Structure 1
């Protein structure tokens, strides 16, 4: 039962609900995205600033909301897969923090393409991709988020808390989403988040319904 005064119950609910809300925000963010809705160039952001702002905000909170969920998943891995869970969990949290911050670029897209010719705005955005941003923000953000989520799901399944459909579904959902978003294919751009919502939703609901004993199991000495 949910309780603000029970630390275990609150953290379990927060983690479980986050696992549902994160992919839901990703799906809604893709649906609202002007380019996914039929636009074919970045000028779609300038022409639809309200939709772009809502989409960027939803995508930002998708990555942020995955953080308490990942922490909850790692918390439950106590024996088999614990090393993988700890390392992948730390990398994933760092990646999600970095990746969420990149969503602010959409707001700069709006203003630049509203105030400047398209060629000049594009040149400014390309020049803004400094080596430090790519190496310290984009690469850790994307690799930590995408690879990390899959590895955390592997550790969770290896610990016996879910079937191997969980990491398989996570990998498939991310791959489908990236293919759709990168290739301008709206059906795939929506399908990937739907798959992620299904697999993380099942795990999140199961987490919410856990008993106090299941959430806080007695740790044995073996960590193989």
Structure 2
């Protein structure tokens, strides 16, 4: 009976899916960073080639991190009515497109593995650089990164502005993103994991609130 109601009641299913996604997305990001074989000072592509299994698991987890944020973002935007609605709608659209674009970029890790296993490092590096065509950078990479990172912050701002959560939510998202970006770019393992932990805490708290939310509140969002 409970399972039947879960799949037949649109409010329960969509609300729960959004809430669970907000928990799983940063969790996948955290696990993906933990499994990533790259170490500080080491060549990223060579580390991928020397550790194909770990790289594949990491890339897959990161791919699903960005994908899983999509239903969560849609759920957050759904709950913003009147105050903050314009920001939520615009930021939500940008974020969803950014997340989808960014998830697609994870496939490049698998090409790194094969190229650096089969070719000399200099030749493999040149191929990867040549593959960074202007269209890929302008239409895939930049929208994916900017849309994902900035979009998630703006969606959380709209959610707090609407009174759905305290301002700790956008503040935590901003801090978590900045710490993670700095840690990932500098290959600092502590910061690379600390950022996702912060994101897991704030998105997880909101995700749990969605799961526990009354169906009438979800439907009317007043």
TM-score range for the pair, normalised by the shorter chain length: over 0.9
CA distance in 2, matches of 1:25, 1:213: 31
Of 109, 113, 122, the residue aligned with 1:110 is 113
- Give 1:15's aligned residue: 18
CA distance in 1, matches of 2:187, 2:103: 21
- Give 1:40's aligned residue: 42
CA distance in 2, matches of 1:48, 1:126: 21
Output one character per residue of 1:158-197: Cα deviation in whole Å (capped at 9) or x when no partner.
Answer: 0001000100100100100000000111100000000000
Residue 142 of structure 2 corresponds to residue 129 of structure 1: no
Normalized per residue, the structure richer in helix is 2
- Give 1:222's aligned residue: none
Q: Give 1:12 deviation, angstroms.
A: 0.2
- Give 1:69's aligned residue: 72
Residue 160 of structure 2 corresponds to residue 157 of structure 1: yes
Instruction: Give runs of ≥4 in structure 1 deviating > 2 Å.
Output: none
- Give 1:51's aligned residue: 54
CA distance in 1, matches of 2:187, 2:11: 43
CA distance in 2, matches of 1:113, 1:218: 52
Instruction: Name the SS of the counterpart of 1:216 in structure 2.
Output: helix
The question of whether the paired residues in 1 share the 8 Å contact of 2:36 and 2:58 is answered with: yes
Instruction: Name the SS of the counterpart of 1:3 in structure 2.
Output: helix
Residue 197 of structure 2 corresponds to residue 207 of structure 1: no
CA distance in 1, matches of 2:133, 2:58: 25
Output one character per residue of 1:13-42: Cα deviation in whole Å (capped at 9) or x when no partner.
Answer: 000000000000000000000005x67112
- Give 1:4's aligned residue: 7
CA distance in 2, matches of 1:48, 1:171: 32
Q: Give 1:52 deviation, angstroms.
A: 0.4
Gaps of 5+ in 2: none
The question of whether the paired residues in 1 share the 8 Å contact of 2:80 and 2:221 is answered with: no
Q: Give 1:79 deviation, angstroms.
A: 1.4
The question of whether the paired residues in 1 share the 8 Å contact of 2:36 and 2:54 is answered with: yes
Output one character per residue of 1:85-121: Cα deviation in whole Å (capped at 9) or x when no partner.
Answer: 0000000000000000000000000000000111111
Instruction: Name the SS of the counterpart of 1:79 in structure 2.
Output: coil
